[in-house]
């Protein structure tokens, strides 16, 4: 392990000050589940580490007029346990439960999962299907953006070198919206997703309203399936309708073939999981 300088941030403001001082050379340490791997690699290890794990102002989960705001340092385990999340955002609770092992969920943070920019992340699709946005803070003030804007490329986000992801906001209009998350991996536990899908929709007299479909591990970033969403909006629920939405969503993805699965298999599973996720959220 190569040596590095360690700075401990007292709160988010102090973290932003430290980032402004040290810029691109610095990496943030929150749960550490990703960064510790990099620290063991001489080629990728940062020269400066800013520990933000003690920043209490980044750990809250609060309900306001804007919606449900989740601090970037809220751990997966805490999010999963909170009744507020389980009652209003069950799909998010399901998604964070599927992340790694118990030890990973106890240490890993929601903000860290999003900032990693990994296309196969589990939290991204669930949040995207609920129209969540992120709040970034830096020397120039705050920025708000959708997750679609935040995810730029594999392992790349719109976060500037001197900015900090402070919170994730699920808007008030999405609280309580029927939603579901499904993940396909090579094993039941501690699996990296081959495909993951989240779906949400309101149901009004048997008609779908404001459907959302988000896909992970099947494109360079987590993506929405807008063509499938437009197809569903205003339609009555039938087995054929849900199956067609799955087929359309599969056509909107850009899966790759690797040693874990072929692109063709992934595309077939997008169609299956999309249909199942829609069925599941509409029976909640």
Write the CATH number for 234.
3.30.390.50
State the total domains in the chain. 3
Task: Out of 141, 174, 207, pick the residue that ends a domain.
Answer: 174
| Cα distances (angstroms) measured from residue 84 to each of 49, 67, 200 | 33, 12, 18
Query: What's the DSSP call for residue 72?
Result: T
What CA–CA distance (Å, rounded) separates 178 from 24?
Answer: 41
- Asked if residue 111 and residue 14 are part of one domain, the reply reads no
- Exposed / middle / buried, residue 1 (Cβ in 10 Å: 0-12, 13-18, 19+): exposed
For the chain, the C-alpha Rg in angstroms (whole number) is 19
Alpha helices in 43-143 (DSSP H): 76-81, 83-88, 90-97, 102-107, 110-115, 123-128
What CA–CA distance (Å, rounded) separates 177 from 191?
Answer: 27
Q: Which domain holds residue 100?
A: 56-174
From the list 209, 190, 188, the residue with the least C-alpha distance to 281 is: 209
**3-class secondary-structure state, position 96:** helix
**What pLDDT shows up at residue 223?**
98
- Asked if residue 145 and residue 120 are part of one domain, the reply reads yes
**3-class secondary-structure state, position 8:** strand
**What pLDDT shows up at residue 3?**
79
CATH of the domain at 81: 3.30.465.10
**What pLDDT shows up at residue 39?**
73
- CB under 8 Å to 3, separation ≥6 — which residues? none
**What pLDDT shows up at residue 101?**
86
**What pLDDT shows up at residue 284?**
62
Q: Could you report the average pLDDT of every consecutive run of 10 residues in the chain (284 residues)?
A: 86 95 88 78 77 96 96 97 95 94 92 95 97 97 97 96 96 97 85 94 94 97 98 96 98 94 97 97 80
pTM of the predicted structure, to 2 decimals: 0.94
**What pLDDT shows up at residue 283?**
82
263-281 vs 239-252: helix axis angle to the nearest 10? 140
**What pLDDT shows up at residue 43?**
65
What does the chain come to in residues? 284
């Amino acid at each position: 392990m190569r040596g590095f300088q360690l700075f401990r941030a007292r709160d988010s403001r102090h973290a932003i000050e430290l980032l402004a001082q040290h810029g691109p050379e610095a990496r943030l340490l929150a749960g550490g589940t990703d960064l510790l791997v990099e620290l063991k690699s001489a080629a990728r290890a940062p020269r400066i580490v800013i520990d933000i794990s003690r920043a209490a102002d980044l750990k809250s989960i609060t309900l306001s007029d804007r919606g449900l705001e989740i601090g970037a340092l809220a751990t997966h385990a805490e999010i999963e346990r909170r009744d507020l999340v389980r009652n209003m955002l069950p799909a998010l609770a399901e998604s964070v439960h599927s992340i790694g092992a118990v030890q990973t969920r106890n240490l890993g943070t929601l903000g860290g999962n999003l900032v990693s920019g990994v296309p196969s992340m589990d939290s991204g699709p669930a949040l995207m299907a609920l129209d969540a946005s992120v709040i970034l803070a830096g020397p120039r003030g705050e920025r708000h953006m959708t997750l679609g804007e935040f995810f730029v490329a594999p392992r790349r986000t719109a976060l500037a070198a001197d900015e900090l992801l402070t919170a994730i906001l699920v808007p008030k209009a999405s609280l309580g919206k029927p939603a579901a998350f499904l993940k396909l991996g090579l094993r039941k536990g501690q699996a990296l997703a081959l495909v993951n899908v989240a779906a949400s929709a309101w149901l009004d007299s048997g008609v779908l309203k404001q459907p959302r479909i988000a896909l992970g591990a099947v494109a360079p970033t987590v993506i929405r399936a807008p063509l499938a969403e437009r197809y569903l909006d205003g339609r009555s629920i039938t087995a054929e309708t849900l199956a067609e939405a799955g087929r359309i969503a599969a056509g909107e993805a850009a899966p790759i073939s690797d040693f874990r699965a072929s692109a063709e298999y992934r595309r077939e599973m997008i169609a299956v999981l999309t249909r199942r996720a829609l069925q599941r959220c509409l029976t909640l």
